[in-house]
Structure 1
Amino acid sequence: MSGLHKLEVKQLRILSELLALQNLSKVAHKVGLTQQAISEQLKKLRDILDDRLFVRQGNKMVPTPRAQALEAPIADVLIKLEDIVKPEHFEPATYQGVFSISATDYTTQALLPELLSIVRAQAPQLKLIVQDFATDNASELMSSAKLDLLISFPDFIPDDLPYELLFIEQHLCVASKNTSLGQKVLSISDIAKQPQLVVSPSRANLKGSHDQWFANVGLKRNIVMSVPNFSSVPDLLCSTDLIAFFPSKLLPNDKVSILKVEDLPPPFEVIVAWHPRSNQSKIHQWIVEKLRFVCNKSNVEY
């Protein structure tokens, strides 16, 4: 077995202190061991390094040339070991790095402008990469460290990822500012009959997230168009007779009006998820804290 396998960190510290103090009793007092224990460790070091290391002269332990040559390397090793075990220090103002977030266009619009403002003010050297909404390969991206955070909905998050609830969202029924529906209070049956625009971010089809809500009461929606994002919805509604369900956090909007309805589809959770290895990551904790702040600040009821 090589000497490296026998060497212990505490022995390096004792050797470092012996080189500095050159006195067994002083070293014993400083490291909190008995003088006998220090002598035993010195004996092991002599065996491992195949050198006497110190020669006694009166009350002093005079280092051999071999011991003197080890002083600087040992000090360097101990400093590096201290860096490994000390708590991670995170200072936003000086932090340099790249952070990747996967989000839908909806959460990008609702949360990231305010988050970016905070980042630019408090962590100006942090760079953000916002990726398209990842569903099918979220776990793979997280595992390969190509993705740091995923802002999504619980149903789209792999079971092995820890997450935190950011807010509860409610879709509201909207139409053009010039809608003929006026101030009428619409029933779910009335809504089902209206030509509708739906948003399908991950699948290109004429299906929407609230189809089951209608099906539960025996109704089928009159869906006439599907788009992949919410950002285009106001422009598409403002010049047509279509209606749509739109996130409350993106309202009010100058191009659409909120319709009066008897009932609304169930609210849903918006969460932020990360890989388990990042549970103690200071930068992850900081970003999540800022997202939490943004969400609490923008909790407005309509």
Structure 2
Amino acid sequence: MSKLDRLDIKQLRIFQALMREKNASKVADQIGLTQQAVSEQLKKLRDVFEDRLFIRKANGFIATPFAESLSIKVDSILTEFQGLVSQTHFDPKTCHDTFVIAATDYAQQIVLPELISQLRTLAPHLKLIIRDFEIDKLNELMEKGKVNLAIAFPDFIPETYPLITLYEEQHVCVTSPNSSILKQEASLKSIAAFPNIIASPSRPNFKGSIDDWFKGFGLTRNVMISAPCFSVVPMYLKSCDSIAFLPAKAIEDLDLVTIPLDKSPDSFDVIAAWHPRYNDDALLNWITSLLKQQYLAGF
């Protein structure tokens, strides 16, 4: 009997679940089998692939390097099989799936509220998980199916990922209405020298996204505060005499003053991206169609 004849879809689903949960008991509960049955299927998989696949530890399993590489192929195979049996017509009203969106702090404020509103109305049984955008882990999370859609900026997304550009955004220089800088004529030099606040969600440091733009003019910003997210920067601006460069859409309806500049940083795109294996996923395609309707209808 060939190795192929010794494999079935159930075993691959169990393998996929073990990669995700790293725990036989949890997998048994999810799939509706006994833990012993899961262990028996795992033994068959080990025989077929001639690899341990998972190594036991105190509270579960650790995947072997071979299992890590195999999981990408298994995910692709199961996605293809799902396409064979899926209905051609997708009805969001009857969808009971769980969908995971990784979004930057900015996207959570600006993009997601309207999208979530539409999803709750049009797909009332769909469960959503919104998680913070982890730039260093994004590819791993999406390869393993733990994130379905990422909403961020192009520089944060692997080049091989399909994406749609939602809109173009621009950084503007803002400060509190009581800031002392409003009493002087603002120039790029004075803006750079004035205490700056930056938002650095991905990595806690004093490097901002427009530092290179300032360097083009031979200037280095006087960054005094690095915040973990965009949403807290307006509050910090009001508590200390400082300025910040924030996305224009993020400051709408806030009690901040925009400082006009002769030159402005380059604009940047806000995008939605996904792993290539989800190209034919009906739920993903429907959700991205909502984003297209929201942002691209006029283009």
Q: Taking structure 2 as the reference length, what is the TM-score of the superposition?
A: 0.68
Q: Distance in 2 between matches of 1:263 and 1:184?
A: 18
Q: Distance in 2 between matches of 1:220 and 1:96?
A: 52
How far 1:87 moved relative to its partner? 5.0
**1:170-200 superposed Cα distances (whole Å, 9 cap, x missing partner):** 0111100222333866322121111100011
The total of aligned residue pairs comes to 220
Stretch deviating more after TM superposition (184-193 or 169-178): 184-193
Map of 1:147 onto structure 2: 147
2:175 alignment partner AA: A
Q: Quick one: percent identity of the two aligned structures?
A: 44
Change (3 A) 1:220 1:297: farther
1:94 and 2:60 aligned = no
Distance 2:143 2:193 in 1: 45
Question: C-alpha offsets along residues 121-140 of structure 1, whole Å, 9 cap, x if unaligned?
Answer: 11111111011112112111
CA deviation after TM superposition for structure 1 residue 266, in Å = 0.8
For 1:260 and 1:104, how far apart are their aligned partners in 2?
A: 27
Measure how far apart 1:267 and its partner are.
0.8
Residue 254 of structure 1: CA displacement?
2.8
Determine if contact 1:164/1:273 at 8 Å carries over to the other structure. yes
Aligned pairs for 1:1-302 within 5 A = 84=84, 88-182=88-182, 186-296=186-296
Larger Rg: 1
Contact conserved, 1:185 with 1:259, CA < 8 A, in 2?
no
1:52 alignment counterpart: none
Question: What is the Cα deviation at residue 240 of structure 1?
Answer: 1.7
Aligned residue number for residue 47 of structure 1: none
Shift of 1:98: 0.6
Q: 1:94 to 1:244 in 2, by over 3 A?
A: same
Q: CA RMSD in A?
A: 2.4
Structure 1 unaligned segments of length 5 or more: list them: 6-80
Q: What letter matches 2:261 in structure 1?
A: V
Report how far residue 297 of structure 1 moved.
8.3
- The one-letter amino acid of 1:139's match is N
Q: Distance in 2 between matches of 1:239 and 1:184?
A: 20
2:161 & 2:250 partners in 1: Cα distance? 27
Distance 1:106 1:208, change over 3 A: same
Asked whether the 8 Å contact 1:187–1:263 carries over to 2, the reply is: no
Residue by residue over 1:153-183, the C-alpha shift from the partner in whole angstroms, topping out at 9 and shown as x without a partner, is 2211112211111111101111002223338
Cα deviations across residues 212-236 of structure 1 (Å, max 9, x unaligned)? 1111111100110001100101111
SS at match of 1:293: helix
* 2: CA distance, partners of 1:85 / 1:218: 60
Residue type of the alignment partner of 1:277: R
TM-score for the superposition, normalised by structure 1: 0.67
* TM superposition shift of 1:294: 3.5
Cα deviations by residue, 1:252-278 (Å, 9 ceiling, x for unpaired): 233312111111111111111111111
Distance 1:109 1:297 in 2: 21
Which runs of at least 4 in structure 1 moved beyond 6 Å after TM superposition? none
* AA matched with 2:252: P
